[in-house]
């Protein structure tokens, strides 16, 4: 349904139902607003508003006109975008299977909203071919024959090989009728397409898992021609996007001399590979809404942007000067970079969206992500580094409880998921909630984490449950030696791989932690890899990856049992809290129930919280708050902060 609000209603939207400042519920709420996007003509903003578990898409004119609110109810909103100035595209996801195509997973769908009329249509509503209305790529706006068009990939309506992935075909969709027409047919080996906003297909990627052949192909005279081919059993290159002049495909390719990845251009005209360029260390690319690579971003504590587009580079320099010592993220911008939306977070700032209007020379706040939290509710976050037992330097972040001296503090170790991921500076709602209860929180980027180079990632190979685990307890010993924490008052908590690390900490790395909280964690790595084998088969990159990180060549290797906390439940030296969502499609729910059963058989103290219809990412507000409340109650009982 479509509602209208007065132009001044925006601030009220961000504060509806705000909990009392500093309460656990305030930290556990979904962001009041998120995903703020500006239309290409600079006339409107679109963003998602969450309130008590319900979600709306807000369309706000910047000239002070009426605000539109489109109610999506209790679905999981995943993003909004502007395919053109007259339409907003809203993405949602559901936990479901596509019959005969995929196993149960998180399936993304989209709705097109006409800004002028308020009419809504699902993308696609119908098509001339048999397809599923499930996106397999991010939608991109364009124009065909003078008419606004949405380009995206859909799963083809036919059974996939071993139900591992659908056939990916590229379509163009009318944003008002929802009618889809095929632009390019793919096959089971097709990955991504690269195209211009007029629908001209430039390139695609393919992967043949039988022989681990990865290829980027250019579209020439109606045929596909190999432009870059490499054997990639696990890690491969990436096709990032178009160069700003649209003469090249921008690739991220491993440099054999350094072992790291760098950017390189492949000419669309002749397929020649250019010289490496870009940052010398780890980076991510920055894209615009037309598939162009406009820059890169690195992370050395705080994100650092390097823009190839001079107008954007100049504007960003101005923005960085306004927010010193804060974590900044480029959210969206107009094609001419005259208006830019920025997300700001960090110590004293729980997250806020700002709009820079260069023509008006004005910076204004759009709204707060967590309006129920004041600057005083956001604890100090310090970047730290220490040496692991083997001398490897580990970096991470320490959140300190407000109002307490950094001396002899109770500590919660909170490793990230992944494990090929990382923690960053900024506002972490979970860490901040624990700090607000009086705990210091350590978030180590242990070996195997991203952001520190390929050699640091590879240092984690074979160390799942080994040195990846002791990297965490080495951080405890470092902080204890500094006098910052009390080594007798330490617990460990985490989600996904972090949940595994919590269970391993209490069973495999004994004598460090008083208690452990595992959210959607893995208790039995042998069971996990066997389950993945049934779905993806042994020759898949997924199984090759797990074998590499576990350091095994066979799923019968006894090392898998040695690194499985569930098989060492009798050695647990502290109470355990297990929390898991019933709709988790990444880590089986049975991983937690089996861990509970193993601990109960060993007569070890264990508690279990079922999150009901929750997925792997704590996407729903009520269950996120339920998790947080259960975690804090358990920690306060077993590791009192005072």
Tokens of 57: 């898409």
3.40.50.1820, 3.40.50.11890, 3.40.50.720, 3.40.50.2000: CATH of 379-523+569-638: 3.40.50.1820
Neighbours of 190 (CB within 10 A): 23
Among the ranges given (109-113, 183-187, 456-460, 473-477), the one the predictor scored with the smallest mean pLDDT = 183-187
pLDDT tens per residue, range 14-38: 333 334 447 999 999 999 999 999 9
What pLDDT score was predicted for residue 61?
A: 97
DSSP states along 119-168: -EEEE-SEESS-EEEEESS--EEEEETTEEEEEEEEEESSPPGGGS---E
Does residue 249 carry a pLDDT above 90? yes
Q: For residue 95, what is the DSSP state? A: E
What pLDDT score was predicted for residue 103?
A: 76
Burial class (CB in 10 A: 0-12, 13-18, 19+), 284: middle
Mean pLDDT of the chain: 91
pLDDT tens per residue, range 454-504: 899 999 999 999 999 999 999 999 999 999 999 999 999 999 999 999 999
Percent of the chain with pLDDT over 70: 94
**What are residue 59's DSSP bridge partners?**
46, 68
pTM of the model: 0.91
Helix (H, G, I), strand (E, B) or coil at 356: strand
What pLDDT score was predicted for residue 4?
A: 29
Q: Where are the domains of the chain?
A: 379-523+569-638, 525-563
Neighbours of 365 (CB within 10 A): 13
SS3 assignment for 584-638: CCCCCHHHHHHHHHHHHHCCCCEEEEECCCCCCCCCCHHHHHHHHHHHHHHHHHH
What pLDDT score was predicted for residue 6?
A: 28
Does residue 337 carry a pLDDT above 50? yes
pLDDT tens per residue, range 610-625: 998 899 999 999 999 9
């Amino acid at each position: 349904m479509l509602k209208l609000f007065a132009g001044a209603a925006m601030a009220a939207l961000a504060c509806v139902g705000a909990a009392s400042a500093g309460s656990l519920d305030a930290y556990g709420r979904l962001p009041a607003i998120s995903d703020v996007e500006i239309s290409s003509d600079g006339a409107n903003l679109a963003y998602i508003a969450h309130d008590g578990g319900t979600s709306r898409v807000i369309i706000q004119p910047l000239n002070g006109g009426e605000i539109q609110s489109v109610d999506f109810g209790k679905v999981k909103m995943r993003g909004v975008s502007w395919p053109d100035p007259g339409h907003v595209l809203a993405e949602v996801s559901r936990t479901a299977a596509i019959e005969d195509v995929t196993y149960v997973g998180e399936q993304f769908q989209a709705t097109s909203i006409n800004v002028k009329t308020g009419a809504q249509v699902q993308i696609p509503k119908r098509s001339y071919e048999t397809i599923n209305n499930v996106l397999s790529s991010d939608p991109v706006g364009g124009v065909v024959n003078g008419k606004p068009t949405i380009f995206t990939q859909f799963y083809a309506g036919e059974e996939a090989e071993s139900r591992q992935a659908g056939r990916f075909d590229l379509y163009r969709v009318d944003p008002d009728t929802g009618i889809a027409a095929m632009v390019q047919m793919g096959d089971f080996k097709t990955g991504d397409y690269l195209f211009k906003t007029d629908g001209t297909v430039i390139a695609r990627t393919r992967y043949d898992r039988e022989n681990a052949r990865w290829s980027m192909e250019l579209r020439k005279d109606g045929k596909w021609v190999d432009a870059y081919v490499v054997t990639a059993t696990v890690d491969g290159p990436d096709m990032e996007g178009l160069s700003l002049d649209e003469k090249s495909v921008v690739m991220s390719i491993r440099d054999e001399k350094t072992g790291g990845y760098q950017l390189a251009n492949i000419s669309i005209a002749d397929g020649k590979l250019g010289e490496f360029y870009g940052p010398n260390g780890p980076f991510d690319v920055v894209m615009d809404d037309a598939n162009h690579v406009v820059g890169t971003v690195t992370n050395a504590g705080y994100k650092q942007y390097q823009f190839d587009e001079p107008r954007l580079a100049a504007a960003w320099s101005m923005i960085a000067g306004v927010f010193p010592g804060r974590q900044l993220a480029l959210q969206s911008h107009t094609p001419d970079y005259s208006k830019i939306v920025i997300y700001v977070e960090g110590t004293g700032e729980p997250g806020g969206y700002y709009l820079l209007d260069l023509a008006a020379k004005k910076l204004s706040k759009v709204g707060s992500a967590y309006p129920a939290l004041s600057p005083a509710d956001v604890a100090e976050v310090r970047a730290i580094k220490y040496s692991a037992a083997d001398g490897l330097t580990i970096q991470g972040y320490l959140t300190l409880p407000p109002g307490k001296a950094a001396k002899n503090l109770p500590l919660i170790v909170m490793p990230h998921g992944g494990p090929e991921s990382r923690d960053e500076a900024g506002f972490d709602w979970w860490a901040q909630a624990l700090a607000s209860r009086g705990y210091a929180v350590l978030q180590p980027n242990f070996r195997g984490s991203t952001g520190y180079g390929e050699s640091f990632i590879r240092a984690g190979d074979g160390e799942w449950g080994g040195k990846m685990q002791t990297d965490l307890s080495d951080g405890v010993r470092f902080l204890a030696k500094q006098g910052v924490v009390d080594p007798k008052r330490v617990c460990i908590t985490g989600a996904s791989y972090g949940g595994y690390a919590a269970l391993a900490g209490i069973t495999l790395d004994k004598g460090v932690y008083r208690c452990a909280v595992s959210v959607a964690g893995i208790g039995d790595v042998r069971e996990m890899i066997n389950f993945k084998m049934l779905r993806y088969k042994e020759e898949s990159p997924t199984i090759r990856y797990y074998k590499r990180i576990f350091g095994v060549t066979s799923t019968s290797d006894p090392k898998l049992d040695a690194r499985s906390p569930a098989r060492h439940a009798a050695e647990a030296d502290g109470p355990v809290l297990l929390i898991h969502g019933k709709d988790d499609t990444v880590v089986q729910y049975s991983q937690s129930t089996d861990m509970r059963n193993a601990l109960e058989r060993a007569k070890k103290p264990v508690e279990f919280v079922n999150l009901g219809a929750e997925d792997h990412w704590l996407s729903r507000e009520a269950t996120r708050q339920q998790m947080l409340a259960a975690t804090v109650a358990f920690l306060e009982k077993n590791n009192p902060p005072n």
